[in-house]
Structure 1
Amino acid sequence: MAAPGTALSHAELAGLPSSLATFLAAPRMRHTLEAGVTTARDLGGADAGHRRAVESGLLVGPRLLVAVAMLSPTGGHGDFRAGNDNRPPDNAMGRLADGPAECRKAVRSVLRQGADCVKIAATGGVWSPTDQPDDDGFLEDEIRTITQIAAGHRGKKVAAHAQGRDGILNAVRGGVDSVEHGYEIDDQAIDLMLERGTFLVPTLTTANTDPDPGKAAPWAYAKKRHWQDIARRHIPRAIERGVRVAMGTDCGIAEHGTNLRELGYLVDCGMTPMDALRAGTSEAAELLGLTHEIGTLEPGKRADVVIARGNPLEDIGSLGDPGNILLVMKDGVAHKDVEGLAA
């Protein structure tokens, strides 16, 4: 929610006053809810205040699970300094740590600030200026330290940004709950994820959002186009082999309020429409540890209901148009009701 939904400029984001960044997030949160998303993880930038603002009714948006900031090694995906910049990092979306001792302190720091889950960088990435998506980020011992600390705090989940093959393996061996992106996933990683029940969140929305060459830096543009092609080749194999998939979009880079486009992209990669719907409901709820509250319509749960125009089992892509979302009910309260369906 802290990112604009277009090409990222971390220098611009770092230069925003924190109060302005929060105000800018408010309409994004509303658009996300009205697009049919009643619960979301925010894996870097939103803090516990965003979550509490929704819970109190101050802001309209999906209920949030926040990671506060992404933990990253120096020079990794959370380090947005230029290569010749030796100043201390000034970035709300990343938190640097090197070695198990610093990782232990960093994860305890975000948990102290109210993190509901933990985000780590197991590989480099597209938008970080000094690494590549197939560079290692945190190594297995660092990741295992983080997952052990998180598990000791009421079983907090750990999500790993991992795009390159070796970093995916490090993340799964280190005990993460989910691999975000997973673009270079191969059969060895698939075998390990199937064995351990690790979720894949393939963020196909951003993989199908071409960067704007007029806004993205040339190095970021080249990386993004290259890794989009890799994702389109590898993700269908993971789906074919039955890796557990939860829906996630990387909105913040992709456009806010179009989240349910992801379901169509999952079907394009081989899922059935019903399995894609489960990825966005019951499977996602299990990844978040919230199956007792959300994800299915059952007595005693939180009464989240989305009604759409048309039959998504026949046209899953129609859900990606917010105009086709007629009713969004969260906790039994209608936040969007185009045709008076809740009356």
Structure 2
Amino acid sequence: MIPVDAHVARLPLTPVDRTVSVRLVHARLIDGSGSDPIADAEVVIEGDRISYAGSYRASVTVEAATEVDLSGRTVLPGFIDTHLHMGSDLETSDAELAAAYGSQKVLGTAVTIRRTLLAGVTTARDLGGIDAGFRESIADGTILGPRLHLALSALSPTGGHSDYHLPSGAPTRSFATLDPIVDTDDDVRRTTRLLVRYGADVIKVCTSGGVSSPSDLPTDVGVPAEHIKIIRAETGKRQGQPVAAHAQGIQGILEAVRGGVASVEHGYEIDSEAIDLMLANETTLVPTLSAALRVPDPKLVPDYLYQKKVRWSAVAREHIAAALSAGVKVALGTDSGVCPHGRNLAELGHLVELGLSPMQAIVAGTSSAAELLRLDDHLGTVTAGKLADLVIIDSDPLTAITTIGDPDAVGAVLQGGRLVKDLHGWFGIPPALPAIGG
């Protein structure tokens, strides 16, 4: 098997000047590991990496460093949203989508990507809807955005969650990268190989139906466990891409875990059997509460979608709370695109609402998310040697976790040592200017 680190070649962004060093002093540091905060901290950045993170060193001088006094503010790792859809907006009507030029859709997606970064998300996993060109455009500095991991498409059988046809056979959307329908063993092998060829960082399967799809239900079973095992055998020959499962009803959740997925996405109907299996297999739950708990305006969505949302929001609230209480490992994911973009860190408040402590919620959005994406050697904690992805806020998130959900509460964002947002002029220098989005 190719080493796991093979996929991190996509980590770099446009290089920063490696001669530049920045010393952040007197901030409260929450490093993402779950350790107690450091009340009077110091973080030193050299180039794109952190060279020191810990207690303030009054007797130490960092040569040629720009010193930034962050007294009264909190430094956190850049957050990771492990489940979103940058190219989607469920509440945009089919007529509006049909009327838009292709260029408008691309530019609109670029603006969404930038907004996500400025909300405090420095790395994200898009689980279907955009192609690898967006990832590469971010990596080479053409546009500002979170460094991306991509699924490209979500696989399901005919009639499953990613079969975008009405019962009449009329299509409701076009395929982003390839036809996502897999019915046979050979379909699964070939489509997995195509996804790897197109640059997928993760393989997404739909082991259940869904709330938003018009011709199936969350209780329906989609991709079975044996097909997940075929996918894992195929990716094991390549970069070992993990498998993420859209799984809402309990039978789909069980198929996903038995097949060996790395993460169960949504998990609305998770029960004690699934909880025990996930704990035994160290499977991560990405509960996407920003979407799960949100019931949209019935005037903006089809009636079938509104009715399913009402029912399944209540199911998710009860069952996911039980999973969190049982200690299932959690990574932050929002399903933005099904819910509004640009408020990703509101997910932290939802996780706390359903039972996590504020510190546990922060860990879910930082070190646990980095581990799920196999980026924990580079991201997820404010630690010497890791990339300098940082979020700086005015408040203490351990006492006011919901405040960080407002993107205006995110005062500054650094990504790989680059200042990309500084609302209050704390750094005294202009942040990197966005190429698109103003």
Query: Partner of 1:325 in structure 2?
Result: 410
Q: Note if contact 2:131-2:176 (Cα within 8 Å) is conserved in structure 1.
A: no
Query: Partner of 2:142 in structure 1?
Result: 58
CA shift, 1:340, in A, is: 2.2
Query: Partner of 2:88 in structure 1?
Result: 3
Query: Partner of 1:104 in structure 2?
Result: 189
Whether 1:77 and 2:161 are equivalent positions in the alignment is yes
Deviant stretches of 4+, over 6 Å: 86-89
How much identity, in percent, do the aligned residues show? 47
- What secondary structure, in the 3-state scheme, does the structure 2 residue paired with 1:96 have? coil
Whether 1:47 and 2:131 are equivalent positions in the alignment is yes
Q: Note if contact 1:77-1:137 (Cα within 8 Å) is conserved in structure 2.
A: yes
Whether 1:265 and 2:350 are equivalent positions in the alignment is yes
Relative to structure 1, is the Cα distance of residues 342 and 160 closer, same or farther in structure 2, using a 3 angstrom cutoff?
A: same
Question: Could you tell me how far apart the structure 2 residues matched to 1:255 and 1:165 are?
Answer: 27
Q: Equivalences for 1:198-277 in 2 at 5 Å? A: 198-277=283-362
Q: Give CA deviations for 1:79-108 in whole Å, capped at 9, x if unaligned.
A: 121111177973327611112210111111
Whether 1:310 and 2:384 are equivalent positions in the alignment is no
Question: Could you tell me how far apart the structure 1 residues matched to 2:408 and 2:172 are?
Answer: 45
Whether 1:171 and 2:262 are equivalent positions in the alignment is no
Query: Partner of 1:191 in structure 2?
Result: 276
Q: Which of 18, 21, 38 lines up with 2:122 in the alignment?
A: 38
- What secondary structure, in the 3-state scheme, does the structure 1 residue paired with 2:124 have? strand
Query: Partner of 2:206 in structure 1?
Result: 121
Query: Partner of 2:425 in structure 1?
Result: 340
Whether 1:67 and 2:67 are equivalent positions in the alignment is no
Query: Partner of 1:22 in structure 2?
Result: 106
Structure number with higher relative contact order (C-alpha < 8 Å, ≥ 6 residues apart): 2
Instruction: Tell which deviates more after alignment, 87-96 or 180-189.
Output: 87-96
Question: Could you tell me how far apart the structure 2 residues matched to 1:225 and 1:14 are?
Answer: 28
1:3 maps to amino acid:
S
Q: Note if contact 1:77-1:128 (Cα within 8 Å) is conserved in structure 2.
A: yes
Unaligned 5+ residue runs, structure 1?
none
Q: Cα RMSD over matched residues?
A: 1.8
Q: Which of 199, 224, 237 lines up with 1:152 in the alignment?
A: 237
Q: Give CA deviations for 1:257-300 in whole Å, capped at 9, x if unaligned.
A: 10000000000111010000000000000000000110001122
CA shift, 1:21, in A, is: 2.5
- What secondary structure, in the 3-state scheme, does the structure 1 residue paired with 2:180 have? strand
- What secondary structure, in the 3-state scheme, does the structure 1 residue paired with 2:244 have? strand
Question: Could you tell me how far apart the structure 1 residues matched to 2:94 and 2:237 are?
Answer: 32
Unaligned 5+ residue runs, structure 2?
1-85, 429-438
Query: Partner of 1:292 in structure 2?
Result: 377
- What secondary structure, in the 3-state scheme, does the structure 2 residue paired with 1:77 have? coil
Relative to structure 1, is the Cα distance of residues 14 and 100 closer, same or farther in structure 2, using a 3 angstrom cutoff?
A: farther
1:64 maps to amino acid:
L
Aligned length: 342
Question: Could you tell me how far apart the structure 2 residues matched to 1:318 and 1:88 are?
Answer: 38
Give the TM-score taking structure 1 as reference length: 0.95
Q: Note if contact 2:253-2:274 (Cα within 8 Å) is conserved in structure 1.
A: yes
User: Which is richer in strand?
Assistant: 2
Give the TM-score taking structure 2 as reference length: 0.75
CA shift, 1:151, in A, is: 2.8
Q: Note if contact 2:166-2:172 (Cα within 8 Å) is conserved in structure 1.
A: no
2:153 maps to amino acid:
A
Question: Could you tell me how far apart the structure 2 residues matched to 1:88 and 1:10 are?
Answer: 8
Relative to structure 1, is the Cα distance of residues 155 and 10 closer, same or farther in structure 2, using a 3 angstrom cutoff?
A: farther
Question: Could you tell me how far apart the structure 1 residues matched to 2:249 and 2:91 are?
Answer: 21
Question: Could you tell me how far apart the structure 2 residues matched to 1:240 and 1:218 are?
Answer: 33
CA shift, 1:33, in A, is: 0.5
Question: Could you tell me how far apart the structure 1 residues matched to 2:193 and 2:102 are?
Answer: 22
Question: Could you tell me how far apart the structure 1 residues matched to 2:330 and 2:144 are?
Answer: 28
1:284 maps to amino acid:
A
Q: Give CA deviations for 1:151-209 in whole Å, capped at 9, x if unaligned.
A: 33211111100000010000011011000000000000000000000000000000122
Instruction: Tell which deviates more after alignment, 136-145 or 157-166.
Output: 136-145
User: Which is richer in helix?
Assistant: 1
Question: Could you tell me how far apart the structure 2 residues matched to 1:32 and 1:105 are?
Answer: 33
Q: Note if contact 2:225-2:256 (Cα within 8 Å) is conserved in structure 1.
A: yes
1:101 maps to amino acid:
D
Question: Could you tell me how far apart the structure 1 residues matched to 2:189 and 2:101 are?
Answer: 29
Question: Could you tell me how far apart the structure 2 residues matched to 1:81 and 1:16 are?
Answer: 21
Q: Note if contact 1:122-1:167 (Cα within 8 Å) is conserved in structure 2.
A: yes
2:255 maps to amino acid:
N
Q: Note if contact 1:51-1:65 (Cα within 8 Å) is conserved in structure 2.
A: yes
CA shift, 1:8, in A, is: 5.9
Q: Note if contact 2:164-2:172 (Cα within 8 Å) is conserved in structure 1.
A: no
Question: Could you tell me how far apart the structure 2 residues matched to 1:71 and 1:77 are?
Answer: 8
Q: Note if contact 2:324-2:354 (Cα within 8 Å) is conserved in structure 1.
A: yes
